[in-house]
Amino acid sequence: MGRGKIEIKRIENANSRQVTFSKRRAGLLKKAQELAILCDAEVAVIIFSNTGKLFEFSSSGMKKTLSRYNKCLNFPEIAVAEYKSEKQDTKEVDVLKDEIAKLQVKQLQLMGKDLNGLSLKDLQLLEQELHEGLLLVKEKKEQLLVEQLEQSRVQEQRAMLENETLRRQVEELRGFFLSTDHCSSVPPYLEYYPSGGKNSLMNHSSASPEVASDIVMEKGDSDTTLHLGLPSNNYRKRKTPQGETNSNDSRSQLGQL
């Protein structure tokens, strides 16, 4: 038996009106959701009950839908163009998300993970890719090692040049100091006369006149040897035997008396 038509008018019974509102509201929201999914439409539904309660549904967000609605009321052509650009951007975003997901899966497979869904051919291709990548890594590693070795050789040559320069500078400084020491050395003829010669002469002269005269004579003799370029020791040795002979002659004369 078919269902009869219901007259569309306000239901007077409050309980029946509330039950009908709940049923039809749920059916309306369900139909709106199905329409958005099946037809790729942007749907928004706003419902206020007779008691003031709010019920809403939106497939893309209520604020976004209302903003688009206001733009369509004021500038319909601009709103349509913006919607097309947004739709294109959304498609591009979806494509990029799919590519990112594929790359993540590929990365896991290269690390040896998530290999359950791969066939034998896929595994062989993956092994070949890993082998080629390993060869490239080894080649890059060898190149870096050669560059580091070349840099080490250049640094070694620079260090050797710096060491050679420092060695030459040290040799030059040594030669300079040796020449300075040779120039500042005391002449040999000054070594025979110490600085306290006059004081010693005065001391000897105060001690006894004979000793003083001997010292004066010795000084005169030493000056003579200095002018002649003879060493004073030889002159003293040569002078000593004459004094001894004179003393021996005087002793012999006293013995004859």
In this structure, are residues 43 and 58 in contact, taking their beta carbons and an 8 Å threshold? yes
Q: How far apart are CA 157 and CA 151, in angstroms?
A: 10
- Taking residue 83's Cβ as centre, other Cβ atoms within 10 Å add up to 14
List, in order, residues 6 or more apart from 20 with CB less than 8 Å away. Answer: 11
44 contacts 65 by C-beta, under 8 angstroms: yes
- Along the 257 residues of the chain, how does pLDDT read in single tens digits? 456 677 788 888 889 999 999 999 999 999 999 999 999 888 999 999 988 899 999 998 999 888 888 888 777 666 666 667 777 777 888 888 889 988 888 888 888 887 887 888 888 888 888 888 889 999 999 999 999 999 999 999 999 999 999 999 998 888 888 877 666 555 554 444 444 444 444 444 444 444 444 544 444 445 444 444 545 454 444 444 444 445 555 555 545 54
CB 59 within 8 A of CB 77: no
Distance CA 154, CA 148 (A): 10
Q: Is the torsion defined by CA of 166, 167, 171, 172 positive or negative?
A: negative
Helix H or strand E segment including 245: helix 232-256
What domains lie within the chain, and their CATH numbers?
Answer: 11-74 (3.40.1810.10), 189-241 (no CATH)
State the pLDDT at residue 233.
52
**What's the pLDDT score for residue 9?**
87
Q: How far apart are CA 256 and CA 40, in angstroms?
A: 167
Q: Are residues 59 and 31 in contact, defined by beta-carbon separation less than 8 angstroms?
A: no
Position 141: which residue type? K
Which among 22, 17, 57 is positioned nearest to 41, based on CA atoms? Answer: 57
What gap in Å lies between CA 103 and CA 101, rounded to an integer?
A: 5
